[in-house]
């Protein structure tokens, strides 16, 4: 019996999830998991999150918050392997081995590096530059064949393929040349600046958080920039949200549509929010889920790392 193709993907614990995170990635994670067609490995990328400016006192809280969010939104530890990146021995060590075959010039041309360096000018650390190498290790440590991404992430997957090819050619390893799994995901823009992608880095006013209360949703959606008519470029992102959550054709009256979106959005996430809050109040249960994921992920990671070190002459 042929094994299912393995999917590997991660998400950073860096604050509350917003609707762009959900429609752009998490909903697809859940759909892929529930299809039964893939062996899904989803991880919380806490090591990656250290490349950004952060508060160490809040990092553990961010991890629990993200895990509770993912579970409430539908990720199932009985269907997917869900784990914490830093709890698995192998990610950073494999990344170091990969760093010996990739030229610095390959890293310097990465769009993500340029964007992040421009955004955090006072903290352009080495991890920002080597971030894609750790991404490659994240995927290839589990022999990931497919990585669900949007088109804007294609460059990162190509680098994973480059690293796999270099390792296989130089040392005789057998890493798969991972392919992007392009999934339909609308690009959700800021509700206050529709020309920019929705991101927490723009400020809280720009994002529509999934698990905020109704009062917050009312205020934010009421202030959403929509332009003057349905054909306005500024209306495109608002209309994407409206169409998804309201499941009806737009009327053209933005005031009414904002009220309808607020009701539909709040209703859509109501029970998920209740589940999320319940999970957050039981951190020991969250630890059990991470332990279960670690128990499945670690042996695979250890085997891959040991085979790679042998091929490179280290064992």
Residues annotated as catalytic are 116, 197, 200
Distance of CA 2 to the CA centre of its chain: 28
Cβ–Cβ under 8 Å, residues 186 and 244? yes
Report, in angstroms and rounded to the nearest whole number, the Rg of the chain calculated over CA atoms: 20
| CA 290/CA 80 separation, integer angstroms | 12
User: Nearest CA to 221 among 251, 194, 258, 246?
Assistant: 258
- Taking the CA atoms of residue 249, residue 250, residue 251 and residue 256 in that order, the dihedral angle to the nearest 10 degrees is 120
Q: Which two tokens stand for residue 39?
A: 């062996």
| CA 140/CA 136 separation, integer angstroms | 6
Cβ–Cβ under 8 Å, residues 84 and 39? no
| CA 131/CA 47 separation, integer angstroms | 10
Instruction: Give the three-state DSSP class for 174.
Output: coil
Cβ–Cβ under 8 Å, residues 191 and 237? yes
Q: Which two tokens stand for residue 31?
A: 């759909």
Cβ–Cβ under 8 Å, residues 91 and 130? no
């Amino acid at each position: 019996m042929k094994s299912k193709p393995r999917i590997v993907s991660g998400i950073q614990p860096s604050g509350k999830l917003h609707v762009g995170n959900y429609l752009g990635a998490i909903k697809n994670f859940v759909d892929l998991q529930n299809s039964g067609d893939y062996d899904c490995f989803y991880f919380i990328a806490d090591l990656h999150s250290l490349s950004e400016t952060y508060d160490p006192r809040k990092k553990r809280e961010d991890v629990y918050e993200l895990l509770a969010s993912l579970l409430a939104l539908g990720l199932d530890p009985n269907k997917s392997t869900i784990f914490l990146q830093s709890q698995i021995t192998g990610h950073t060590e494999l990344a170091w081995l990969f760093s010996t075959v990739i030229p610095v010039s390959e890293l310097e041309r990465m769009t993500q590096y340029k964007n992040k360096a421009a955004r955090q000018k006072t903290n352009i650390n080495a991890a920002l530059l080597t971030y894609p190498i750790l991404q490659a290790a994240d995927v290839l440590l589990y022999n990931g064949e497919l990585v669900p991404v949007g088109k804007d992430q294609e460059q990162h997957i190509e680098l994973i393929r480059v690293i796999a090819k270099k390792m296989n050619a130089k040392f005789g390893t057998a890493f798969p040349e991972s392919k992007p799994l392009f999934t339909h995901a609308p690009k959700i823009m800021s509700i206050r600046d529709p020309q920019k992608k929705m991101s927490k880095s723009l400020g809280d006013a720009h994002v529509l958080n999934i698990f905020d209360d109704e009062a917050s949703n009312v205020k934010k959606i009421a202030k959403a920039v929509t332009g003057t008519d349905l054909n306005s470029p500024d209306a495109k992102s608002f209309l994407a949200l409206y169409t998804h959550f309201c499941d009806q054709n737009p009327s053209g009256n933005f005031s009414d549509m904002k009220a309808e979106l607020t009701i539909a959005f709040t209703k859509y996430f109501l029970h998920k929010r209740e589940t999320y809050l319940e999970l957050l109040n039981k951190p020991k249960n969250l630890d059990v889920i991470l332990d279960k994921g670690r128990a499945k992920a670690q042996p695979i990671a250890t085997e891959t790392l040991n085979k790679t070190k042998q091929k490179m002459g280290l064992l």
